[in-house]
A and B are shown apart, each in its own frame.
Chain A
Amino acid sequence: MMEEIWFPLKLSLWVSFLATILVGISGIFLAYLFATKKFMGKNILDALLTIPIILPPTVIGYFLLLIFGRNGIVGKLLLNAAGISLIFTWKAAVLAAVVVSFPLMYKTSKAAIESVDRDFLHASYTLGHSQMGTFFRIVLPLAKKGILAGLILSFARSMGEFGATLMIAGNIPGKTETMSLAIYTATNSGRELQANILVAILTGVSVLVLYLIQKQGAIVGR
């Protein structure tokens, strides 16, 4: 019984943690790019980056399967070039989590960065800082509330991810069974005790994480 609860918990936390880091880095970077630079096709690309929010997770899972599956464009490449298969492993769970939570991080961070007064940036440049220096010392600190909110949303979304995960990671106890999947199977197979325990833990952990980050945010942002 412990194994059936401990593993999904560990896996969900690990997947969400990893996904949030990946989404955080890529989200902040792209948000900065789109918030401050002008380039061709910006609107279309922005829409593409935001699409996963609108698409149902099962549709996202289907597309991911088409792309990263053994016969998919990327999947075939990875397999032939490096012998790597993402599908039906925990890495696919991370991939699913990243895709569905990226728009949340991206949009929130972009809004936060856009709200930074441009005068501060210009002042920083005239005082001698480079773009990168300005980004780390001026933009990030001023946008940190929005960015933190984006990270929280991404983590929460990753913890709750189900549809896309089921499709590309599969539901394999001890390998890819996240908490959401474990609850689903336990409920469907009449294992009510396991289901109840998992639901209680997932709810508790989610509330705890949100509380801790909220508390942190209250101190950090003012």
Chain B
Amino acid sequence: MTWLVILTIVAGFSIQSFYLPSKAWSGQRELLVSAAVSLKEAFEELAIIFKNKYGVKIIFNLGASGLLQRQIEFGASVDVFASAGENQMDILQSKGLIVEETRKDFASNALVIVKPKNFAVDFSSIHDLQKKEFKIIAIGNPATVPAGYYTKIILDQKDLWEKLRSKLLYTENVQHVLTYIKRGEADAGFVYRSDLLGKENTLDQYMIPVDSQPPIVYPIAVTRYSSASEMGQAFIALVRSELGQKILLKHGFGVPEK
């Protein structure tokens, strides 16, 4: 009998706690932003500035851009979407799920090949990945991770995709690639230049020449069904402001030239 009473009380508390967040929503004290994982540190810095300026707290939903896009398609009530790839934003735009006028490019990035520190093999060009020392190459899943999609483009251009295919390991987001490299589970990987900041000493890297890189541009937009559209636009404005751009550059991103 006592079990039943305790269970009911616990259930009661659990159900009650679901109501509290919605009170916060209606007060518009919070903004929910879905952002690509690579933006984590830069956006957290911007969130602090945003809070100080507007008194609104930003909650981040981080993940692979493809996953975030699908969440929005399935009805996730996020206010702003910052994607690492244009495809994902294009799809949402074609489905009318973003406010087109608010869509802006705010940063760019570049792909870098990394390998575990002191991995003993000569590496001077991307074609060296065919060497047998590279048994496992980690890349983001091209279907859901923009970095992986762009990696496929580069490899296709160099006629290396089919040749390297059996060595490829797909990860769910770019951070996984870094983890695998650091742990020595993979022999090489493709990550963003921004992901390497501060970690240069933990692994070896090879910069892919600029003329081999596809343009990697990050778009941001307010979602159609956001209830905090004004706040969302204010955040976008902050991201694109001189201050915002300075912070993004500091974290390894490039200017959103197109």
Chain A bound to chain B:
yes
On A, residues with C-beta under 8 Å from B are 65, 69-71, 85, 87-88, 166, 170-173, 175, 185, 187-191
Q: Contact: B170 with A190, CB < 8 Å?
A: no
Which of A69, A175, A190 has the most B CB atoms < 10 Å from its CB?
Answer: A190
Report if B158 contacts A (CB, 8 A): no
Report if B153 contacts A (CB, 8 A): no
Which 3 A-B residue pairings sit nearest by Cβ, starting from the closest? A189-B143, A188-B144, A170-B169
Q: Contact: B144 with A185, CB < 8 Å?
A: yes
A-B contact pairs, 20 of them (CB 8 A): A69-B183, A70-B184, A70-B185, A71-B183, A71-B185, A88-B169, A166-B172, A170-B169, A170-B170, A170-B171, A171-B141, A171-B172, A172-B168, A173-B170, A188-B64, A188-B67, A188-B70, A189-B141, A190-B73, A190-B91
Q: Contact: B170 with A171, CB < 8 Å?
A: yes
Contacts of A188 in B (CB 8 A): 64, 66-67, 70, 143-144
B51-70 vs A, CB cutoff 8 Å, 1 = contact: the mask equals 00000000000001011011
Contacts of B166 in A (CB 8 A): 175
Q: Determine how close the nearest CB of chain A comes to the CB of B66; give it in whole angstroms.
A: 6
CB nearest neighbor in B for A69: B185
Q: Contact: A71 with B143, CB < 8 Å?
A: no
Q: Contact: B66 with A189, CB < 8 Å?
A: yes
Contacts of B66 in A (CB 8 A): 188-190
Report if B222 contacts A (CB, 8 A): no
Q: Determine how close the nearest CB of chain B comes to the CB of A86; give it in whole angstroms.
A: 12
Near A by CB (< 8 A), chain B positions 136-164 give 136, 141, 143-144
State the majority secondary structure of interface residues on A.
loop
Q: Given A69-B185, A88-B136, A172 and B70 touching (CB < 8 A)?
A: no
Contacts of B169 in A (CB 8 A): 88, 170, 172
Q: Determine how close the nearest CB of chain A comes to the CB of B91; give it in whole angstroms.
A: 7
Contacts of B170 in A (CB 8 A): 170-173
Q: Given A69-B185, A71-B184, A87-B185, A187 and B70 touching (CB < 8 A)?
A: yes
Contacts of A189 in B (CB 8 A): 66, 70, 141, 143-144
The complex places the Cα of A216 from the Cα of B91 at a distance, in Å, of 50
The complex places the Cα of A69 from the Cα of B184 at a distance, in Å, of 9
Given contact pairs A71-B184, A166-B172, A172-B170, enumerate 15 new A-B contacts (beta carbons under 8 Å).
Answer: A70-B183, A70-B185, A87-B185, A170-B169, A170-B170, A171-B170, A185-B141, A185-B143, A188-B67, A188-B70, A189-B66, A189-B70, A189-B141, A190-B66, A191-B143
Q: Given A70-B185, A88-B136, A190 and B70 touching (CB < 8 A)?
A: yes
Contacts of B91 in A (CB 8 A): 190
The complex places the Cα of A170 from the Cα of B64 at a distance, in Å, of 16
The complex places the Cα of A4 from the Cα of B185 at a distance, in Å, of 26
Contacts of A87 in B (CB 8 A): 185
The complex places the Cα of A172 from the Cα of B168 at a distance, in Å, of 8
Contacts of A190 in B (CB 8 A): 66, 69-70, 73, 91
Q: Determine how close the nearest CB of chain A comes to the CB of B83; give it in whole angstroms.
A: 14
Contacts of B171 in A (CB 8 A): 170
Contacts of A187 in B (CB 8 A): 70
The complex places the Cα of A188 from the Cα of B88 at a distance, in Å, of 11
The complex places the Cα of A77 from the Cα of B9 at a distance, in Å, of 52
Q: Determine how close the nearest CB of chain B comes to the CB of A71; give it in whole angstroms.
A: 5
Q: Determine how close the nearest CB of chain B comes to the CB of A5; give it in whole angstroms.
A: 15
CB nearest neighbor in A for B187: A70
CB nearest neighbor in B for A66: B183
Contacts of B70 in A (CB 8 A): 187-190
Contacts of B73 in A (CB 8 A): 190
Q: Determine how close the nearest CB of chain A comes to the CB of B118; give it in whole angstroms.
A: 14
Contacts of A71 in B (CB 8 A): 183-185
The complex places the Cα of A162 from the Cα of B11 at a distance, in Å, of 29
CB nearest neighbor in A for B171: A170
Q: Determine how close the nearest CB of chain A comes to the CB of B224; give it in whole angstroms.
A: 18
CB nearest neighbor in B for A170: B169
CB nearest neighbor in A for B166: A175
